[in-house]
Amino acid sequence: MTVPAHPRSRRPEPFPRPAPSSRPALPRRPAADRVEIRLPWWAMALPAVAFAALLLMIMSPGQAQAATADPALGQLIERTLHLLSR
């Protein structure tokens, strides 16, 4: 059992109570039926930006230029294999 930090402090209710009305009460569903999902703004923005960037790259492949020099990683692997084969 937890003890409140201050005698006047109350634990917040998980769901706000509706205001009383003159309508008849509806049968309540169990709390397990309610699932609250909250996402930060970037959880939707980052995938959308990545999708747009990939779509732009697919739409304009004519602007891509091939590299003329051998990549440094390829030269390193080639020299390593040459040294190991001695």
- Average pLDDT, integer, range 23-39: 70
Question: 4 pLDDT exceeds 60?
Answer: no
- pTM of the entire structure? 0.34
Question: 31 pLDDT exceeds 70?
Answer: no
Return the pLDDT at 60.
78
| Residue type present at position 78 | E
| Helix, strand or coil, per DSSP, at residue 38 | coil
Question: Looking at per-residue confidence, does 84 or 17 come out higher?
Answer: 84
Residue-wise pLDDT for 46-73, tens only, equals 999 999 999 988 887 776 676 666 677 7
Question: Looking at per-residue confidence, does 69 or 81 come out higher?
Answer: 81
How many whole angstroms separate alpha carbon 24 and alpha carbon 59?
59
